[in-house]
Structure 1
């Protein structure tokens, strides 16, 4: 016996390849694949129904590029209208023709609002209706299904799409009868009403018998051309786990009569489980005949020693007739189903069984893949009527829903969804931060709840600002945007930022300044200072020179890869005629040094620039750095560690010198070092300019004896 495949149904993306997993499997059906899952694009899923069930819908579905199966899920159902009693609004008695296995048609008179109806003799879950109209029929108005509680279900919307022959998908539960309405004449040649909860003859498990019909959860089977006396027939039925029909009521009698009438090749008489005794007619198990009787003629009184029994006879329209128990006749056995069909499973679900044969009493246990939750009964049982209890449970994606309101800030959907595996992020209000040890991320779990607990936010706290040597810090608060003001002791000058702020990352920014003894700094550059101070001054200048050189070289490579050296870069900014000399190359400076600027609160630093050697000297570049841009740190070995801002050279117009104006120069006179009037250094925080002397042009012009032209 085939069992339904129960793998998880969802889409897997793997290196741009799409796979499909198990689609829905309806009840009474199983699916066959050519290979195990997951199934690549183009895989075909083939649906097969259990024996005795008819497939309504596509036989095959294909895995598509989007990871979904094509088409709709088919159903496996049984036509429960076949051989059931029918009637019509007018015309000759042809209503039964529409539900007989022999092709024929039911035809009403040409009257307004004609109808045809069938009694299903039971409660069925209808899922589809197949109908064929004859050429004489007017348009249908509606198909209505009546339930056992009197509820009517209309299929008018589906009927509006009907052609002469088609199947409509119209659903109704516990339906007992169906009625077809036409505008006028109704020419109905065939109608099939498909129910998914009807039992199939194979479930009766009677290979030696012909199943006549299944009614009220009982299998009614006839012998195959075999005849026995009444007692032997009863024993044969008992051996099959049943009996000759007992306690036949009106509805059961109708079901048997219509089933026997539809079988044209059947014998004329069948034993039933009713016997005559001296105390009256009784059923085979000893219960007296009560409530319902359907005799063809009034039975005779049973005489002493006489053994009588009842048969259903074709000559009597399948009513009851008396007969001697010794007569050999075919018989009808009343038994119960022995098996259930496949219970089915929804997409993304799994099912296991206590018995793979689906025998009566088997349990099926359902579960869902991680990320899905079971909606419905977890356990179903194969009941004595051959049907599974309840309905197939559905596996729906887990959704944790919107998290509860959070007063500390905002909540953001990280993945745009609250479904299983997706995350939400908590963000604190400005000025606050997450408490230590708490996570801002929560994830939707398989139990439909968010992981962890709601975090809490507290005000951003930077702690006390750092203290500095030879100074003090003044502050009133340590939360976000609070400020701390630094001051230096007397005779100390503050280098750096005098104010620091508590930032959002919980740190004070910018870093604290230092308080430096300005007298000592000046003494370091005095020619009369000790050798140690000279050494320290030279060390500072060398560091500055290295920084400047690195900046120049980097700029040359970025702005103009073809520039070979600093000297040619300077010349590109000069507007003199060919042959003129740039002020940057007029004279060498042999020493690297630093001198006080005016006012005496900053230093002018000179350093080699890598310019081509001129005569025996090496030109240097001069730039001025304000004290708050320099970070000096006393090292344990007595040296001073100097930190400077990054500099970037920018071409400035050259300053005219005597050579440019045609003034004769002494052959060995060294020109002054270039100033930042020729070079602009842009620092991290602000641009600074070193202005040339106001009278520089006047001095150059005065030195000339003749008129000159500015180039």
Structure 2
């Protein structure tokens, strides 16, 4: 019996060509999207004489951030935002922005900061706006601000802050001189761009630069041990916002893990056995085999029949014989 071709999913793809009953395909997401659900989809019996695939996963980004009153954001027509994307807000004339102008989509499927809002520049004082002045804008380390040539800043005027290469702005990039004679927000500061150390990947590893600091532009490359497949992108880059360009990948087995046999060949304990392959268990002298001595790796990565035991009390000792052609080393 055969399943129909595995369905497509938005922002992802599937790997595998076997459509027979009991076979499985792997789903992975496009760069910038994280998998929600089981990555392994199996052809199973559905009813008495038909087969179909198990539940499909989804590839998830960040939800569309809200629109603000008296302002707008870019990409308002979009509804789907992948990890690493950003949205920038602007206010209408006679309004100024409070909060971060740009927010970034995190690998958790959430935005890194709250949505800003727009405040009116109107005031109740009878003093003309042109006579209300703010103090000189604060100078910042590793950065600069616009209108350095001016000595007077009156109500309604604004300055824009920028950082030197290798630094990112923390705080509001644009501040306004308000009718109260104060700036709309404190001056921001520039922070050296640095990503956190990437986590260890079970059954895998990554190559890293010699420097222990992961600064903007540095990259790491992930790989898996033999018998495992990398789910996700192999190369991650440290971005200007201080986050990795993509979610950290993980390694999944493409077969069954060889059973841990106490007193057996320890060097075989990490071998991964291909689906459909058989292994044979024999007990040491003084131990009695309970169960079938020959077991087969199943499509769901379990053994059938169950792995036997060598009884002497509660111990299990023996050897496992595996044909080299079936083992990933």
Question: TM tier, shorter chain?
Answer: 0.3 to 0.5
Give the TM-score of the pair, scaled to structure 1. Answer: 0.18
Larger relative strand fraction = 2
Larger relative helix fraction = 1
Give the TM-score of the pair, scaled to structure 2. Answer: 0.33
Structure of larger gyration radius: 1
* Bigger RCO of structures 1 and 2 (CA < 8 A, at least 6 apart): 2
